[in-house]
């Protein structure tokens, strides 16, 4: 399992390995691609959260409407009986 917090030494070793594997010219391209991927991921997750919130709001509104209709129907039925 990879530790969650890297120290300075671990980061330097990781950067050296990346430099050796990909070369100095490709690192900016990789960083740009990583940044774009993270941005798209955040955009997608925020969109999903917004959709969930909208669904929850609609459910609450529908429940309130349903309750209001039931109260009106009960009031009308009570008025007709008396």
Rg of the chain over Cα atoms, rounded to whole angstroms, equals 29
Percent of the chain surpassing pLDDT 70: 89
- For residue 67, what is the DSSP state? H
pTM: 0.46
pLDDT score, position 2: 59
Q: Which residue has the tokens 């999903």?
A: 48
* Mean pLDDT taken over the chain: 85
The DSSP secondary structure of 61-82, one letter per residue, reads HHHHHHHHHHHHHHHHHHHHH-
């Amino acid at each position: 399992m990879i530790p969650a917090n890297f120290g300075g030494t671990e980061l330097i070793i990781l950067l050296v390995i990346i430099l050796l594997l990909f070369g100095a010219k490709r690192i900016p391209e990789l960083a740009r691609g990583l940044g774009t991927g993270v941005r798209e991921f955040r955009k997608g997750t925020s969109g999903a959260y917004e959709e969930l919130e909208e669904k929850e709001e609609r459910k609450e509104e529908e429940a309130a409407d349903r309750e209001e209709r039931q109260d009106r129907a009960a009031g009308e039925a009570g008025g007709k009986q008396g």
